[in-house]
Structure 1
Amino acid sequence: MFRFGRQWMPRMGVDEGAGSAGSASAGEEKTESAPLSEEEIARQIEAAKEAARAEAKAEYEQQLAEKLEQTKTEAAKLAKMTADEKAAYEREQREAELTRREAAIAERELRAETGKILADKGLPAGVLDIVIGKDAADTAARIDAFKAAYDKAVQAGVEARLQGKTPVTGNQVAQADTDAARDAFTKALQGGFN
């Protein structure tokens, strides 16, 4: 089975029971199904699309019905209120909507400012969700703490890569190598290369 959109579809051309133990007797051979034609594949894709559309439509209609029910409940509630109660209720609703919008704007501004600060400090933009706080002061403290940890980790990584053994230069050849070379040279001069 593989997933196509939101619907699970069987794999084409694969016998689903062929891999399970005991599904076929010892004398039987597996047979491959014939490959599907382009028209059959297109038909299956269209069927899957239609199923996905139907599911999305049903989900949308359910959300719409819930919103309609909520609106009806709201209207019934308003119908029972007096003029003063309606005015107070509507004022509360406007204030709540205004507060929600102001919070959304403040969040967008904080995210933008945090992105600028991260860029200025040379930190990756991908950590924005990690360092963003409830307000500018909290975010600044988080950025400073993250920067300290980030710099420490980078420094440790650099030091780890720089560690190793000191390269040997021409003047620092080991004494054993020098003695072996001298003995080989002396032997070669005395008796040849035998």
Structure 2
Amino acid sequence: QILTGLFLAMHYTSDTMTAFSSVTHICRDVNYGWLIRYFHANGASMFFICLFLHVGRGLYYGSYMYLETWNIGVLLLFAVMATAFMGYVLPWGQMSFWGATVITNLLSAIPYIGTTLVEWIWGGFSVDKATLTRFFAFHFVLPFIVAALAGVHLLFLHETGSNNPSGLNSDTDKIPFHPYYTIKDILGA
């Protein structure tokens, strides 16, 4: 996701007048730009499928009992959802504009600070160029924060141990997380 996003960012412009045209340019004029865009968009959907399966497994096996690991996982879920929402706004079509307007306006229901918070997020009194620029910046930065949170999530997971189908806790014959599993987690092995 990060790699395809970097390739897309090379051709995307976060301006309300040219954002939609830049997405069209990526799909039509950039070599295999259409493929990179669809890998990025559909990759996000596949990521969410895996994420929801992971959450379902955690609920089924009672992983919420490990409070720190679970809470970091919830933060991770919200960060991924925020990243996906901001990416949804970036093409700046009608669905993107009205999606940004409706979803950000939900925050106005917060008593006392809601309206001020919404205007602060928008960067003005309506969804406009400042909003799109901010969403692009956050869509770019949040995946790195998600990666760091995933590392913290794994660290807590290795500290507490994970739940398994048998429900047995095996504390015998354990080896330290670092350096043995750090390398495996970094390399994805």
TM-score range, shorter chain: under 0.3
Q: Which of the two has higher C-alpha Rg?
A: 1
Q: State the TM-score, normalized to the length of structure 2.
A: 0.23
